[in-house]
Chain A
């Protein structure tokens, strides 16, 4: 498509500058896209593994908790769990990598999840609760990674759209226009020349 411009030299110069700029931008964006893609793929593998691990451990820990719960009197479990002994504080910070703002979760735990006497509770209850506590930490870690993944994927999408816009629309357009203007200009040149020759002929025949 040819842009709506006046075919003159000034415009041609301006367009040529724009073309250089667009090409440089295209290259930069392309590089960014490649790099993001590379990181994304690395992260995807890690997240996949972590997800599997967390899923497995969560299932295991809850299974153990269920057995521990079944193995003791329901009343005693109730009084053991009455007062929560643990506080989990979650602070969220932002970090920017390649223009992508990703959150970083910081977990701070205070106290112990085991907040009851030993006499009417079983060791398996402790160990299952501690397993759950560990899984929760990994779960938060996983959430952070998955969010990062999502944000990166969005950024890649955006970058790809930009790259495509540059590659398939802006740059071809600019090139078409430049070509058009160049042709128009040389056309004008030629018509000028013929006009001049004609004038020269008329003057000479006189």
Chain B
């Protein structure tokens, strides 16, 4: 078994785990936002940021996946393959988990907007705090990939 398959698996994991997380997260906040909008369509603007926020993890995963792909060469050793896979894990897992939780935080933020539209930024702030850990995951992944 050569390292290419393992490296591809790592790169794919970064994309699909973070992507699934984002999809679930947006799914949650999207439903809540749709509920709010069905009664008060004027809040679309304040809700928009909250709905897209959990989507960033999927994007980070995509970015990490691309970087990992750049490292894949036909004669990759097994050791290097494993290295790439492990380097992808931080964004894959942190992205997956944080996106779901960010979705929930954003949904709570959407509740806040439902009551008081002028407080939307406060909801966004809390959601961004969750975002931090996805960003940290991404940074670590990038550094680790550089070391491979």
A contacting B, Cβ–Cβ less than 8 Å: no
